[in-house]
Copies of this chain bind each other. A is one copy, B any other.
Amino acid sequence: MARPTVQDVARTAGVSVGTVSRVLNGSSAVSASAKEKVNAAIKELSYRPLASARDLRRDRTMRVLALAKNLDSLVISEVFRGVGDAAADSGYVSLIAATDGDRDREQQLVDMLRNGSVDGLVIFSPTMPDDDVNTVAEQLSVVQVCEIVDAEAAFGVSIDDRQAAYDITKHLINTGAKKLAMLAHRGARSGQLREEGFRQALTEEGLEPDTILLGEGNFGFHAGRELTKKLLEAKDLPDAIFCGTDVVAAGCVRELTDAGLRVPQDIAVAGFDDSAQAEMCVPELTTVRQPAYEMGRVAFAELLERMTVEGAHRKGRTFLPHQLVIRDSTK
């Protein structure tokens, strides 16, 4: 048989559709006997309210969408776990989609917000230009997390990337480094902030801002190796390298080790994110821990406010505290 409707349930239970709906939603009082009959009919027909009909009438979906370029990262999956848990607490379902850095794909997914397929959007790493983020955020329920572009209207949750980079650079200097290098991710907003923090720490200590190598595109293990290889071609080597992510740091350590250098005795290395790779690396990486799960939760909380409170387009950023994790890759 075709999918049963509320009409079928009403007929089977011998009541009206109104009553069925009231049982379904507990919206107002229904006699015990009617409730029983309706529930029996629902079970008998294994009836489920059709989402599209319900959404149409209610004008909301109780769904949110989380976007990122890719999903293969502990930070992202933890952030989205936080979003998912917080969403569930409020009766929402959170869905995830990867854009693969494809503008059209991303556009299509943002359109899901425009056309009411979902009630809100969490953006991790946008592909679209900053202005577009801003335009979307002006009218719709959007919150950014981790990677936050300069958008007037957009709200965002992240750590203070500049400060965190500053802190870890200070740590490197405190352990005796005099000549520092950085492998930074051009293109990622957070990468630029981390670069700023790095520079600031050096300036304050009166050290010359040394080599900063910029990786573009896929900023991963191989990029870490390649950039480090370039670094090793220089005459005088740095005595500490700050890498924009742990995976890049892992590549860096690997390249140094292969070149016969000892980490941290010859060169200290620090990463960022405290991802799984930080512990898997030999030596284990000094890094910055982001409270990813918590960031996800906070991001959803903000989104919820935007979705439910009329005109609650509070702007600005929320910073959550980061944490320095000192391990063996710096002495």
Contacts and interface: CB of A to CB of B under 8 A. Distances in A.
Interface of A: 3, 48-53, 55-56, 61, 63, 65, 70-74, 76-77, 80-81, 84, 88, 93-98, 100, 105, 108-109, 111-112, 114-117, 220-221, 247, 250-251, 254, 257, 276-277, 279-282
B97 A94 contact: yes
Given A48-B114, A108-B93, A221-B280, A77 B98 contact: yes
Contact of A49 (B80, B94, B115): B115
Contacts of A279: 221
**In the complex this chain forms, how many copies of it are found?**
2
Nearest to A109: B93
Nearest to A57: B52
B81 A96 contact: no
Contacts of A276: 72, 220-221, 247
Contacts of A51: 52, 55, 112, 115-117
Contacts of A77: 70-72, 98
A56 B108 CA distance: 20
Contacts of A71: 71-72, 76-77, 80, 96
